[in-house]
Structure 1
Amino acid sequence: MADVHSKEVRSKNMRAIATRDTAIEKRLAGLLNDCGFAFRVQDAALAGRPDFVVEEYRCIIFTHGCFWHHHDCYLFRVPATRTDFWLEKIGKNVARDKRDIHRLLSEEWRVLIVWECALRGREKLSDESLRERLEEWICGGGRYAEINTAGIHEREE
């Protein structure tokens, strides 16, 4: 199936996709504020330019879009057009994520991934549920975890 947009229109649309201050980042920032955590955003000095850095607890928090970072959930669909291109592009994102997370963990940072599906969409978690999970993980420990629609899950390094 051919793209419904010309190359110029598709390029313009892709350039308009925000890389910071996205809706999911704003929601997570509000939840972190509600919990009383002090944080920095988009720290370019750290691998992967983390969305949030909670220095007091030595925590890194990434908000990952389910499409761009290939999350196995209802928000991820392989595009019908230019499938090979998109799978290669997304695959590179996933490989970069793994490299950056490994580097942060080796530098003694704790890493939390909050998936887009937990923050928006028909199966999103409530603010109360997200706040509880954030506070539990940030204050309680754990080296590497993810929050998705099913809750919080510790990950292997």
Structure 2
Amino acid sequence: MDTVSPETRSRIMAAVRTRHTAPERIVRSLIHGLGLRFVLHDRRLVGTPDIVLPRHRAVIFVHGCFWHGHECSRGKLPNTRREFWSEKIEANRRRDRHAVRRLRREGWRVMMVWECETKEPTRLMRRLKKFFA
């Protein structure tokens, strides 16, 4: 059973941001530190990648561990309405796979950054440098 009313839960979930999240801002800051310039949320591309680097023909998706079903402690399903959340997150994962396949077919290099990875900026910076090398 949920510990808050359905109205409160709805208000909480409606407040969850999809753009300009803290993990996304961390990744943007690191990329900017590498001297790279980028476009945000380009709707012309499938999946609307969070960060697009047209010059490098590269895109970066910054995924929330819960919302995209990462296999870390942040990606655990809640104890309430498990079937609902399981279906919702699986639909997100299917949509992610479709977007990645299509972008790669169109010649884009794709990188996924998980929310939990932004907790270790030094390690993430190494990964970004390798991606752009």
User: Partners in 1 of 2:124 and 2:94 — Cα distance?
Assistant: 27
For residue 29 of structure 2, give the secondary structure of its aligned residue in structure 1: helix
- Once the two structures are superposed, the pairs formed by residues 1-157 of structure 1 within 5 Å of their partners are 2-120=1-119, 125=120, 127-139=121-133
Task: From the two aligned structures, give the one with the greater helix fraction.
Answer: 2
Worse-matched range after superposition: 42-51 or 127-136? 127-136
Amino acid at match of 2:125: R
- Deviating above 3 A after TM superposition, structure 1's stretches of 4 or more consecutive aligned residues are none
Compare relative contact order (CA 8 Å, sep 6+) and give the higher one, 1 or 2.
Answer: 2
Structure 2 residues not aligned, in runs of 5+ = none
Amino acid at match of 1:78: L
Provide TM-score, normalisation by structure 1.
0.82
For residue 63 of structure 1, give the secondary structure of its aligned residue in structure 2: strand
Q: Deviations over 1:110-135 (max 9, x none)?
A: 10001111113xxxx2x333222202
Q: Deviations over 1:35-61 (max 9, x none)?
A: 001100111110111000011110010
User: Partners in 1 of 2:95 and 2:127 — Cα distance?
Assistant: 26
Query: How far apart are residue 76 of structure 1 and its match?
Result: 1.4
User: Partners in 2 of 1:130 and 1:5 — Cα distance?
Assistant: 36
Provide TM-score, normalisation by structure 2.
0.96
Aligned residues between the structures = 133
For residue 129 of structure 1, give the secondary structure of its aligned residue in structure 2: helix
Structure 1 residues not aligned, in runs of 5+ = 140-157
